[in-house]
């Protein structure tokens, strides 16, 4: 997708360097926007291979409101391995802290908990939260079906009163859906953007969510828009970024997305959705910064 590559190029062109919490400096710009029309295909990068299975299982994890890291591990998804509820395993770069975080399965009141149980009292990963808090995801679906002209269909994961109970304060902290001329659009906001590792996942994850919400509500798929704030590219990712920019973005067409046996967003499983005709250049390794 050229829209993504343009963001990578812009960060490299600006050459604005700043320090980071993780350690390595990062080239950083203040603000960018990603935009894609779903009619043009499913936005899974073709200039490097992106693992759709991991994206889909993480989204199912969020939709279900699960906060148990073990659920992901059981599905061979290791995105959240190094993170943990800071109340149980405080964040740190030292070996002892890293081991505690790795061993702790509770992630705290992260994304899915806020989507499905906003502001409920958080106890533990295995607590029954049924009926607790505000089910924001359910609310926007019901609103879209009853009143598609509504401009208040918003889901917010940023809960200031519970940030100290989250493995990581949400990077993509909120999204909104709008319906225009029978097309459902999804617009997300992101405070912190790891351009090379995180952003391709974020794009595909919200595209998948848009797809599911459109199926749930009966509208056609519309535009996916990301409002990106602190957009950064770690210095140890520069070589890989330049490699990706050198690849022909037009060599492969975007894949399409197919979801079978769909009854509801809330019953959906990651394996129900498949990308068809996905072709890409080889994977580019990028070291994850914790």
Helix/strand/coil for 105: coil
Beta bridge partners of residue 190, listed in sequence order = 172, 228
Please say whether the beta carbons of 57 and 270 come within 8 A: yes
Task: For residues 74 and 60, give the distance between their C-alpha atoms in angstroms, rounded to a whole number.
Answer: 13
- HSE-CB of 180 using CA atoms within 13 angstroms: 9
Please say whether the beta carbons of 117 and 137 come within 8 A: no
Helix/strand/coil for 183: strand
Give me the pLDDT at residue 120, please: 98
The single-letter DSSP state of residue 117 is H
Task: For residues 280 and 153, give the distance between their C-alpha atoms in angstroms, rounded to a whole number.
Answer: 35
DSSP code per residue over 220-265: EEEEEEEEEEEEEEEGGGHHHHHHHHHS-TTSS---EEEE-S-S-T
Give me the pLDDT at residue 24, please: 85
CA-nearest of 173, 207, 168, 236 to 35 is 207
The tens place of each residue's pLDDT in the chain, 290 residues long, gives: 899 999 999 999 998 899 877 778 899 999 999 999 999 999 999 999 999 999 999 999 999 999 999 999 999 999 999 999 999 999 888 999 999 999 999 999 999 999 999 999 999 999 999 999 999 999 999 999 999 999 999 999 999 999 999 999 999 999 999 999 999 999 999 999 999 999 999 999 999 999 999 999 999 999 999 999 999 999 999 999 999 999 999 999 999 999 999 999 999 999 999 999 999 999 988 877 65
Alpha helix segments (H runs only) across 43-120: 52-63, 69-73, 95-103, 111-117
Beta bridge partners of residue 29, listed in sequence order = 231
Q: How far is CA 155 from the centre of its chain?
A: 13
Indicate the fold that domain 2-276 takes in CATH. Answer: Thymidylate Synthase; Chain A (3.30.572)
Task: For residues 108 and 105, give the distance between their C-alpha atoms in angstroms, rounded to a whole number.
Answer: 9
- Tell me the pTM: 0.96
Helix/strand/coil for 271: helix
Give me the pLDDT at residue 267, please: 97
Residues tagged active-site: 171
């Amino acid at each position: 997708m050229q829209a993504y590559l343009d963001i990578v190029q812009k960060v490299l062109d600006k050459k604005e360097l700043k320090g980071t919490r993780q350690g390595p400096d990062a080239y950083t710009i203040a603000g960018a926007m990603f935009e894609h029309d779903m009619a043009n295909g499913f936005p899974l990068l073709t200039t490097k291979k992106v693992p759709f299975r991991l994206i889909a299982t993480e989204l199912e994890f969020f939709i279900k409101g699960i906060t148990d890291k073990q659920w992901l591990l059981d599905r061979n998804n290791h995105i959240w391995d190094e993170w943990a509820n800071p109340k149980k395993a405080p964040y740190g770069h030292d070996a002892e802290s890293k081991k505690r975080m790795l061993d702790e399965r509770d992630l705290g009141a992260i994304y899915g908990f806020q989507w499905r149980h906003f502001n409920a009292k958080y106890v533990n990963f295995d607590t029954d939260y049924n009926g607790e808090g505000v089910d924001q995801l359910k609310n926007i679906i019901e609103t879209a079906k009853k009143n598609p002209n509504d401009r208040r269909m918003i889901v917010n994961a940023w809960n200031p009163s519970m940030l100290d109970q989250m493995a990581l304060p949400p990077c993509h902290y909120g999204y909104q859906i709008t319906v225009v001329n029978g097309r459902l659009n999804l617009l997300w906001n992101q405070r912190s953007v790891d351009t090379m590792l995180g952003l391709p996942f974020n794009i595909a994850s919200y595209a998948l969510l848009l797809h599911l919400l459109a199926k749930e509500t009966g509208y056609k798929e519309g535009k996916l828009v990301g409002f990106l704030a602190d957009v950064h590219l770690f210095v140890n990712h520069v070589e890989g970024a330049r490699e990706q920019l050198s690849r022909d973005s037009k060599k492969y067409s975007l894949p399409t997305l197919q979801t079978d046996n769909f009854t509801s967003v809330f019953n959906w499983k990651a394996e129900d959705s498949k990308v068809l005709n996905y072709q890409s250049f080889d994977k580019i390794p990028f070291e994850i910064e914790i």
